[in-house]
Structure 1
Amino acid sequence: MGSILETLGIEPRFILVSLVGFLILLFVLSKFAFGPLVRTLQARQDKIRGDLDEAQARRDEMVALQRDYETRLAKIEDEARDKIQAAVKEAQSARDQILHKAHADAQTIVLRANEEIASERAKSLTEARNQIVDLATLMARQSTRENISAAGQVGLIDDAITKIGAQTSMGSTR
């Protein structure tokens, strides 16, 4: 082994001194350099873990918040749908009431009109009867005053009808 060391240009007496120096250097570095370096790396690793944990917590919080908003939105949509359905039902009810009232009013108007028609008809019949009675009375008076021929009676009737028609047109314009 000595020949190999000599060929490489290494002296065996310096190997032990170099080894002791290296061990001392390693000890000093571990005390003063590696310790703070390891602590710095550990602190950095802890900070990164803390940041990741915080980011995960925020993400979880955002997911929970999103679910909460989605739930609220669904609830609002349900309430809006319910309100729209209630408004539609109310509008249909109001429409039905209006139609029912309009139908009832129309029936009332028709009944009143029928009553007025019946009243006017009865009134017209009464007036016609009165006019016929007046005509018959007038004809009877004139026929008793004068003995009239058949042609004279027809003329007398036409004259009476004209008088009654004039009275009727005056009465209807009132």
Structure 2
Amino acid sequence: MRHLPKHARPRWRYLAAELRTWPDGAVDRDGFQRALWYAAQNLLGDPGSADADLSVVRFRFADGVGEAVVRVRREATSAGRAALACVDAVGGTPVGVVVRGVSGTIRACEESYLHADGGVTGERETLPPDGSSPRSRRPVDVEADGGYVGATETEVSDLVSESTTD
């Protein structure tokens, strides 16, 4: 069987996605792929889901934080982004998905948008109005009586400083 000529081959785009869940949450590649297909089918219907042809190409997940590279047809990039935004749970574990960027190759996608290869770190520093040193706004999960509570390092340090002054 002969290969298709270059002009007749499908064109792909790659979506870099960041995944977050509670620290004790477990998410695997197969479960994420299944949740993505389910979300795409519910949002786009069978024909739209087949046109987008979403598939997970790369996947890493540990300690409640992960990243994935999802392949989508070039004409359905916005539909693929919307389907990723609809993923809210994987195997019963609540998950937050953020699309970091779109690229034409897997390598460029990993280098530009994912943590492992020096891309976006996700950490933002802001300067307080008084001009003092910058403070990190990185998300932190605090264990409480009923489970975990989401906060930022700034909020946690403010609570600690308030409790020590009282």
What range describes the TM-score normalised by the shorter chain of this pair?
under 0.3
Between structure 1 and structure 2, the one with the greater Rg is 1
Structure whose residues are more often strand by fraction: 2
Task: Compare the two structures and name the one with the higher helix fraction.
Answer: 1
- Structure with the bigger RCO (C-alpha within 8 Å, sep 6+) is 2
